[in-house]
Structure 1
Amino acid sequence: MKQRIKFLFFLTLVVILLIGCSANKDQEGIFQFKDSYVGDNSAVGNIVKQLQSGESLKGIELKTKEKPYGMILNYNWIESEQIYKETVINNATYIFALVHNVEWIRFHFNDKEYKITKEEIQTWYGKNLNEVKNEDDLRKLIQKYLKEEQKVNQLIQ
């Protein structure tokens, strides 16, 4: 009987630990992929699928054969130009903050194409995106700059 109680107690502890570890991983969210590399298909795929309009993503092309490294994101999505611009800024900011060596991103929507470089967006923010340590800070930075339509149009023409 005592062995059975010890076993149930041990099993309960294991279950609690597993649930706790799982909850911590979920809380990390997208920033668990911080400092990924553009050649890491799994990390990049997980990042872009979690971003704005990820459900409309129809393909990713990673350009890693020669520097500067980049990626092409193909979306099957028709929206307004303003929504496209917000998506480009939001997604590029996340990708440049999380993926260590990506230098450019090309966004293909059904009827529009935009290209943005890490240098352009960091100059626009006046901040090195690699220094952003958590998703909350990154989200606040994006929202602050998206409020200024003239500034958005200045970055994405």
Structure 2
Amino acid sequence: MRKTFAKAVLLSTALLVMSACSPLFAAEEPDLFEYEGAAVGNNSAVLNTLNRLPGAEHLTGFELETKQQPYGITASYDWEEATPSDKETAAHNATYLFTLIDNVEWVQFDFDTGAGVEQYRLTREQLQAWYGVDLTGIDEQEKLEELLEQYLDEGQKIDALLTQP
């Protein structure tokens, strides 16, 4: 009886380990367009979107402005240990937020670098003019990533975008 039980436990453990390594159980790439059409007032959709964007591991909080228009989002990051560019992260994440959240008109990113807080505020109108594209018309993640690749490779363009009044 003991031998049978030990064999069953060993077999169960082996199957568990093998199934955990199986590609069938591999985590899927998150689909950010799951929240397309969300509103600023849906803090769950905003949080889930922010948690799937670059810099999410440094996100310390966010605030939603929903009491009066224009509606907006402020995201705060602890950027002391971060290696990516805060400016590129702000432009990238703003692009996703304006594409996915219908009624957001401005976004602000506060990056606490340890030496101070770098703050970037972008409006939907400003970003769409920069791209020359209506972001609400983009309905696939691949199309949005192509647009980002075209514009986010040039640091001077991003600097110009983020220093506009």
Alignment TM class, shorter chain as reference = 0.7 to 0.9
Residues 82/43 of structure 1: CA separation in 2 closer, same or farther (3 Å cut): closer
Counterpart residue number, 1:103: 105
Of all paired residues, the percent bearing the same amino acid is 40
Q: Which runs of 4+ in 1 moved over 2 A?
A: 78-82
| RMSD value, Cα | 2.0
Deviations 1:109-151 (A, max 9, x none): 1131111111000000000000011111101101110122222
Q: What residue number does 2:18 align with?
A: none
Partner of 1:66: 68
Q: Aligned AA for 2:122?
A: I
- 1:80: how far off? 8.1
Larger Rg: 2
Q: Which has the higher helix share?
A: 1
- How far does residue 77 in structure 1 lie from its aligned partner after superposition? 1.4
Query: Unaligned 5+ residue runs, structure 2?
Result: 1-24
TM-score normalised by the chain length of structure 2:
0.75
Aligned to 2:86: 84
Q: Which runs of 5+ in 1 are unaligned?
A: 1-22
Counterparts of 2:30 and 2:52, CA distance in 1? 13
Q: What TM-score do the two structures reach when normalised by structure 1?
A: 0.79
SS of residue in 2 equivalent to 1:50: coil
Aligned length: 133
